[in-house]
Chains A and B, each alone.
Chain A
């Protein structure tokens, strides 16, 4: 039975959809395909080969890229972990501490960085580090990443927490759990899917950040995005495509993971609600 307002019946629906998909994914597809190209060329296909992947790990630039990748992953894991912890506590305070003064202000302050142009944050962060004479290096990158990852981690966590009725924690306290026990035994496990999503989002955001990183990194310290940018300035070689494709694969895996966790959990909750 066709629904009366089925989107698919709008004229041009198919065309617009295909156009959007093409614009979004064609460049990614080209990069992914040409990373397996057998030749130096980035436009002419000369047969399948893994030479550029081998090049990334063993070629003349491999040491540089390995160091950059290592920095990127260390920073992404540390920044995502710390930002997620802070975001979890912030969400608990905002959503579970009742109505306190400046509650609305707090929510605003947490999400505002999402709307500030990144270049502004980058300049401001740089000025801040200069002002307090903090030597630039891995540490400045990490601190900056923690700061801008917090709102990204906060969003899925607070969305998740809003869906958890306060009655679960009340039931726990009614059953002799202290506030702390109600948090660790009930609220935290129920929030876990949101926390995992927040962590993954923060991880990806940190992993691919370029603008802020470029401003606050010290001389000679590189992350993958800044290293790639540096390499591209000397001309695009297919090894860049191989690195990009690997980064893309990491992102896809992470996002899929997050989606799978969210879906399984959603199913459970919906099932239980339906019964009532």
Chain B
């Protein structure tokens, strides 16, 4: 982390308990100024809870939350310069689009004229100027979503919270909104904290991602870090598709770990801290970092038989049964420059690893 980046939101050892149930277990994370930050995790892992604590709707059982260095735990929601795009949008049904968007400014004590003018600008930002006089019920789902966004941006908060804002939209609209959100974040310079359970969405949009599970922070880093260097089984499995193999570490030499799989297949990959020879651990092998050949390319490739080839548009997934061992999925690109080859089921093949394809997982 660069030393000169300002911290927008600092969550320190935050614990949230509902009666006997602990929803968040000592979460610590710092969100930088002007960052597109994503909280990623399966449903029920506590993303909304953390967001609501930042917004001020839930109190912090233990620990503290800071906004640009100042403790905000004692402030009610309306005193925090933080706005939220709610998952169900929560547009006020009895107010026009313009009144909805101007509401925050009006509550901040701006004059009616200024509130209207700035609400108009915010609507322009989301390309909805022509709908200003409509009621929310007269808009499509995607338009309602953008009104909610304009409403939260209009008062120019220091931090914008977005709780799965795209989950109700269909795929095409969702992709378009992903681009638009990213663009809005750059344009406004407001720190975005974005919540999603969709790992692909998180990878596409975020500067940094915090992966959560069962109320705990599993890993925090840039998309590439998290995808290529997952820290544990949960992260490797949750982000993208992977082959998770149980391996035994035989030796560690010069930063490389020599391991073997069931069936006696040998594999070498970068050693990671905390793993010693003799340990039984998991290894993650991304399917697109593997390739098939008829003859082994190196002396270390794994051998097996093709079970099935599945055509999935851009790629082909080949499922291979390793000799005496587990099943593997290998992905190859279908582009003309790609490496997709057709193998009949039952063909003997070698599974080869690109450099750095395998990743040892501590737990």
Contacts and interface: CB of A to CB of B under 8 A. Distances in A.
A167 interface: yes
Given A190-B93, A190-B94, A276-B89, A174 B84 contact: yes
B93 A272 contact: yes
B107 interface: yes
Interface residues of B, number: 33
B137 interface: yes
A170 B52 CA distance: 10
A25 interface: no
Interface stretch (B28-36, B138-146, B196-204, B355-363): B138-146
Given A167-B88, A175-B107, A276-B168, A269 B139 contact: no
A221 interface: no
A268 B139 CA distance: 12
Interface in A214-252: none
Interface of B: 55, 57, 76-79, 82-84, 86, 88-94, 103-104, 107-108, 135-141, 144, 151-152, 155, 168
Contact of A276 (B94, B135, B141, B151): B141
Given A170-B77, A275-B141, A276-B88, A175 B93 contact: no
Contacts of B77: 170, 173-174
Contact of A172 (B92, B137, B144): B92
Interface string A149-180: 00000000000000001011011111111110
A175 B104 contact: yes
A175 B135 CA distance: 19
B104 A176 contact: yes
B93 A269 contact: yes
A58 interface: no
A189 B103 CA distance: 15
B158 to A, nearest CB: 13
A17 interface: no
A177 B107 contact: yes
Contacts of B104: 175-176
A178 B76 CA distance: 9
B139 A275 contact: yes
Nearest to A168: B90
A175 B137 contact: no
A181 interface: yes
